[in-house]
Structure 1
Amino acid sequence: MGTPSLPRGFNRSAVLSALISARELDRPRLVSATGLSQATVFRVVEDLVDEGLVLEGDPRERSGPGRTATRLHLNARQAIVAGVDLGGTNCRIVLADALGGTLGRRHLMTPSELSGPELADWLAGHIFDLAVRHGGGVELGAVAVGLPGAVAGDKERVVGSVNLPQIIGTDFIDGLVEATGVPTSFDNDSNLALLGELQYGSGTLGETVALLVLGTGLSAAISIDGRVLSGRDGELGEFGRLPLPDSPHRVRDLVSGAGLVAYAREQGTPVSSAREIFADPRRHRATVDRVHATLQHLLSVVALAYEPQSILVTGGLSDSFDDTLLARLGAQVEASVGVRASVRRSSLDDSAGLLGAMSLALSSLYLELGVNRDDVTTITSDGDHILHVFETYAPARDTRLAAAG
Structure 2
Amino acid sequence: MIRVIIMDDEPLALINMEKKLKEFNSIEVIKSFTTAKDLLAEGPSLDFQVAFLDVEMPGMNGLEIARLLKEWNKNVYIVFVTAYRDYAVQAFEIHSLDYLLKPISKARLETTINRIQELLHLEKNSTPTLIRNKPALTIQCFGGFVVLHDDKAVHWRTVKTKELFSFLFSNLNSLVPRDSIIDALWSETEYKKARVQLHTTVSYLRTTLSALGYLEVIQHANGCYILQLEDFQCDAHDLEHILNRKMETGKLDIETAEALIQNYQGEYMATLDYPWITSKANFMNNQFTLLLHDLVEHYTAINDVKKREHILLLTIEHNPYSDKTIQQLIKHYIDVDNRANAVKIYNNFKRTLIADLGILPEHETTELFNAISVEL
Q: TM-score, normalised by structure 1?
A: 0.29
| Largest Rg, 1 or 2 | 2
Relative contact order: is structure 1 or structure 2 higher (C-alpha 8 Å, sep ≥ 6)?
A: 1
